[in-house]
Every structure is written in structure tokens, then in C-alpha cells.
Amino acid sequence: MEKKGKILIVDDAVDTVELLKKRLRFEGYDTAEAYDGEEGLKLVAEYNPDLIILDVLMPKLDGYEVCQRLKSNENTKYIPVLMLTAKSGVEDKVKGLDIGADHYLAKPFDYKELSARVRSLVATKAAREKLVEEEKSEALKRMMEEVEHELRNPLTSIGGFARRVYDRLPQDDHNKKYMEMIINDVARLENMTKELLELKTTAISYRELTNINDVIMEALKSFEQDLEDRGIEAKTELGDNLPLISIDQEQMKMALANLIKNSIEAMQDELKILKITSRISDGRMEIQISDTGKGIPKDKIKNIFDPFFTSKTRGPGVGLTLTLKIIQEHRGTVSVESEPGKGTIFTIRLPLKRA
């Protein structure tokens, strides 16, 4: 069963935590638990919850202090906080709301009321995130139009003239290396422009029933030389007799190729293994692409699908943004798990039948 959301319960009363954990999990939520304020703050960063149920009276740090720290942190200030307390006075409620709590319930609470508040707060957070994504998508669309208009023709001219000058320079001319740098940078910008145009046209697709394994192998085949040159071992574990799914073959191949490219570029140590699997899981088609690369720090994972996100291991681009958009256009999801120094796993899940 797909989880409704992630809830962090922070309360030093073991009975309250167990009750909430049991009932929330029965309703389909994923939960994590902490028993004091310091542990709660630490878990927020690791667990990234959709809602925090926070007791006021706790050891080490009380709920007011925890809430204040959460709401003053740019990374956590939009996580809804539902405060619980044995203090039912108006002043206590006002204090909690003043520091940013989204709702306040007095103990002993009615679970039906708490459950309704949980549903409302989780839904509100999901709606806000959807709105942010839509705004980002619209801004990206406008930016792509500007890039296409302002950069495409000048880059073609710069690249063409630079190659002409490069070819005419004597072999021992020290300026030749500078022209080569210009040519390489122009090529990188031209590739970025190409990716932006591809991102712009993903809404136009031709879908047909397809064997996903064939698309995976086509995407992997385009990297044969790269894999050999870098000494990377490619392994495939593709499911037998998988049902055909309705996809745009070229777009899906592009999405898979971007993930494969990302994995290849991440592997620089001695152990270099690229693994691709396909199977049916929970009624959906699941494709996993894993590597033994450098991995992605936790604070960077949430940004990797943003356009022009830059990490220390690779330059800015829109390849992963394009992948995310293609998967979403196919009513699917893509998630990432990573551990620095051990590698990264991208998981794509696609519906089996067209709605």
C-alpha cells in the first residue's frame, strides 16, 4: 500500500507515542518517533517528514524551542507542526501559534479530531508543494523560450568562427589551446540548449505498447564505448515476460539515458559497477539504475532534479530535470536513494495500464 505521508511523532510519553504510531500506521501513514526535543530535531533532518506531532513538555528541549528552531530554518519552516500539550490555557495556545505551530491540541485529545487535523495539514503541505512545482515549471518554460531565442544563433556563430580560426592556426601556435577551450565551452552550451529544447517538447509524445526491456537495452547500448573506456562493468537483471506498457519510446529512452549517464559520471573509484533491473512491484513497472559512484549528500538529494543544479561532481544541466518531466508525463514517479562513498539508486515506477 502506498503511504499517505511521513509523520514524525516527538513526545516523551511512551504511551502517547505508541498509540499515535499504531493508529497512524493503521491509517496508512509512515511514522518515525523521537522521545525528546534534541532527538526530534535530529530526526527531522534525516526523515524529512510531511508533518510533525510535537509535545510541549519534554526534556532537553521543550516543544516551543523545537518549533521555533524548525520555523526559523529555511529547510524546515514549511513542515506543518501539530502541537500537543497538557496545558490548555489560552496563553499557552497563543504562544504555540505565535512561534509558528500550525495547530494546537490539548491533552487528553480526541483521536478523531487529531486524525482530521493530520489529514488537513498533510493535504495542505502537498497542495503547497504542488503549487511550487507548477510555478517552477512555468518559470522554466519562460526561461527555455528566452534561451532558445537569445542563445541559439549566437552560439552557432561563435562555434563556427572559433573552429575556422582553430583550423587556420599553425600547429605550434600557443593560441590554439585557447581556441580549443572556446570550442569545448560552446559545445557544452549547445548541448545544454539542446536539452532545454527537448525539455520543452516532452509534452508532445507518441505512445504505443512497448517492451520496456527493449528500451532499456537501447539506452544502454549508446554508452557501450563510454563504459569500455572507463572500465565500468554493466549488469542487467531484466524481468522475464513483462507486460507491454504504453510509453513514448524515444522519450523514455532519453530519460533512461540521462540516468545512466549520471551514474557513469559518478563512478571514479576502482569499483565501477552499473546495474539495471526491471520487474513488476506493487502493480507497477519498476526500473532501477544503480551505481557504485561517489553518492549524493543528503542535503543535495532534494535538489538534483532542479534545472541547472550544480554539484562538485558535475556541472549544471537539465538532464535529470528532463528525466523527471518525462516520467511525470507518463504518470510515473522517480525516486533516488544515495549514500556518499557507496553509490546511488534511481527507481522509476510506471503504471501498467492506461487510465
Q: What pLDDT does 197 receive?
A: 65
Which neighbouring-strand residues pair with 10?
34, 54
Answer yes or no: do 190 and 228 share one domain. no
Q: How far apart are CA 189 and CA 169, in angstroms?
A: 24
Answer yes or no: do 161 and 181 share one domain. yes
Q: What pLDDT does 316 receive?
A: 45
- Would you call 256 helix, strand, or coil by DSSP? helix
Q: What pLDDT does 315 receive?
A: 45
Q: How far apart are CA 294 and CA 341, in angstroms?
A: 5
What is the CATH classification number for the domain harbouring 317? 3.30.565.10
Domain presence at residue 257: yes
Domain count for the chain, please give it. 3
Answer yes or no: do 84 and 153 share one domain. no
Domain presence at residue 263: yes
Answer yes or no: do 231 and 264 share one domain. yes
What is the CATH classification number for the domain harbouring 71? 3.40.50.2300
Domain presence at residue 324: yes
Q: Which of 109, 143, 168 is the last residue of a domain?
A: 109
Answer yes or no: do 295 and 216 share one domain. yes
- How many other C-beta atoms lie within 10 A of the C-beta of residue 150? 10
Q: CA angle, 253 as apex, 333 and 229 as ends, to 5°?
A: 115
Domain presence at residue 31: yes
> Edge to edge, what strands does the sheet with 81-85 contain?
30-34, 6-10, 51-55, 81-85, 103-106
Answer yes or no: do 225 and 279 share one domain. yes
Q: CA angle, 243 as apex, 239 and 244 as ends, to 5°?
A: 115
Residues 6+ apart with CB under 8 A from 344: 262, 263, 266, 290, 291, 293, 295, 296, 336, 337, 338
Answer yes or no: do 188 and 153 share one domain. yes
Task: Quickly list H helices, 169-282.
Answer: 175-200, 212-221, 224-230, 249-266
Answer yes or no: do 254 and 327 share one domain. yes
The grid coordinates listed for 312 are 562538485
The H or E element spanning position 321 is: helix 319-329
Q: How far apart are CA 41 and CA 55, in angstroms?
A: 13
Answer yes or no: do 347 and 227 share one domain. yes
Q: What pLDDT does 99 receive?
A: 83
Domain presence at residue 185: yes
Domain presence at residue 121: no
Q: Which of 167, 196, 225 is the last residue of a domain?
A: 196
Q: How far apart are CA 323 and CA 343, in angstroms?
A: 19
**Would the pTM of this model clear 0.85, i.e. be above it?**
no
Host domain of residue 283? 208-351
Domain presence at residue 265: yes
Q: What pLDDT does 312 receive?
A: 43
Answer yes or no: do 182 and 301 share one domain. no
Answer yes or no: do 137 and 92 share one domain. no
Per-residue pLDDT of the chain (355 residues; tens, 9 = 90+): 556 899 999 999 999 999 999 999 999 999 999 999 999 999 998 899 999 999 998 888 888 999 999 999 988 999 999 998 876 666 766 776 778 889 989 888 899 999 999 999 999 998 988 888 777 767 766 766 776 667 777 888 888 898 999 999 998 898 988 999 999 888 877 776 776 666 565 556 688 999 999 999 999 999 999 999 999 999 999 999 999 999 999 889 989 999 999 999 999 877 899 999 999 998 999 999 999 999 988 878 877 877 655 554 444 456 788 888 889 888 899 999 998 889 999 999 999 865 3
Answer yes or no: do 191 and 212 share one domain. no
Domain presence at residue 117: no
Q: What is the dihedral of CA 294, 297, 302, 305, to 10 degrees?
A: -20
Q: How far apart are CA 11 and CA 56, in angstroms?
A: 8
